[in-house]
Each structure stands twice: as C-alpha cells, then as structure tokens.
Amino acid sequence: IQVYPHETVSALKERTRTLSQIFLPDPRMEMPWGVCVSQGHVFVTQYNGHCVDVYTCQKSFVTRFGSHGFGIGQFSCPTGVCVDGKDVYVCDSNNNRVQIFTKENREYSFKKSFGISNLTNPLDIKIFNKQIFVLDSSRKCLHKYDSKCKHLKSFVTNGPKHEVDNPKFFDIDQEGNFLISDWLNHSIKVFNSEGVKVSVIGTSLVWSPKGIAAGRYGDVFVLDE
C-alpha cells in the first residue's frame, strides 16, 4: 500500500513520484482489493486471502478477521470495505452479500449480513447521509439501503441505453452525485442522487478505469488499469 501526503492538488502534481510512507509488501496479503481509512486504522480486504487486515496508520499490523467459506463471518473474495463508527461493512462478492463486523476491544466480531436476496457480485460500498450504497457489478446497478440495512431501491441499471457495463468501483462527491468507473465503456459515468445520468467524463482519456475517488475540491482521481 502506498500512502501519499495530504496536499492541495497543485502541490501533489509537483511531486507525484514522491511517497511519504510505504506499507512494505506483506507476505500475508493475497491480492489486496479494497481499502478504507477510519479513526487511525487502515482496513484492507484480501480478495484471494478471503479476509480483512487491519493496520494502524503508522503501518503496524493490528489484527485480521474472516476466513474462506460460506458461513457466518466467512468470505469468498471480499472486495469493497467501509467503516461507520465501530462497524465495518465488507462486500462478500462471491457470497452475494454484505457482512457487518463490530469492534470489541481490539478484535472484530460478526454482527449481521444483508443483501442476499438482491445482490449478485457486490464489489464496492459507501455510506452517505446515513444511507448505504452497494455497487452490484453483475446486475450493473447501485442498491440503496437505509441505516437498518432495509433495501430501498435499485438504480443506474444496464437498460436499453447501456448506461454502465461491468462497473468496478464508485464514489460519492460532496453534492451526493455517484461517480462510477465504467470499465468496458472506458469512462466515468456521473449520476445524480436519483440515478439520472448527468455527465460522462474521461472518454478518450481512460481505458480500463477501476478505483475512483472524489476529491474535496471537485477533482476526480481514477486508477486506470
């Protein structure tokens, strides 16, 4: 994992090759996928390792939770991860669900799961205004849940206009717009809070967009594979 310093965009452009910290290659990691930083800790999902690793921001290993399987608290290729207070939300992609773990002292224990009836290959997850949004790659849509994990609606579907094709990641900007990396359409699609497409960015500039982050100053950062 590489950690870049927090700077203005103009300052960062001047030193894009300079790293402030590096999480050295960890033999315990097998295809790291999702990453989230919260309350001084870094959470990393291992797609092939079927677990979640927790580090401090000073690069010290804290703990690991999850194992390969289909039961409670187990994973089959975990992907997206986000944190809300003491709860860690993990997309359990091949088990077609999201699992929630809660912190107890230094360890994380299973709390609940949701989405088994409406998710197929969830890849990314975000919490915004006390609502949960899950990107469903196979169904090519976003699912919206309330704070109690009740399904509210699905939108941004792969309809006759083929709005998105094989989406991998998404983020939410400060205005509540959804930015989705549209992998096979080689672009970033922007939808408003009601799921209406408002713009397309990156056309002719990106080829295989995956990771995406909305900056606080209106910038969009895209990992182009």
Q: Within 10 A of 57 (CB to CB), how many other CB atoms are there? A: 13
The distance of Cα 169 from the centroid of its chain, to the nearest Å, equals: 6
Closest to 120 in 3D by CA, of 148, 147, 97 = 97
Per-residue model confidence as pLDDT tens for the chain (225 residues)? 445 454 454 554 554 444 445 555 566 677 888 888 888 899 999 999 999 999 988 888 899 999 999 999 999 999 999 999 999 999 999 999 999 999 988 889 999 999 999 999 999 999 999 999 999 988 888 999 999 999 999 887 655 555 777 888 999 998 899 988 887 777 888 888 887 888 787 777 777 777 888 877 778 887 777
- Scan for tokens 């609502």, then name that residue: 131
pLDDT in tens, 192-217: 888 788 878 777 777 777 788 887 77
Interior CA angle at 122 toward 60 and 147, to 5°? 80
Sheet of strand 61-65: strand arrangement: 32-38, 41-46, 51-56, 61-65
pTM summary value = 0.84
- The pair of structure tokens assigned to 111 is 């709390």
**Which region holds residue 196: left if phi is over 0, alpha if psi is between -120 and 50, else beta?**
beta
Closest to 134 in 3D by CA, of 172, 160, 186, 104 = 172
Q: What are phi and psi of 95, to 5 degrees?
A: -95, 0
Q: What number of residues does the chain have?
A: 225
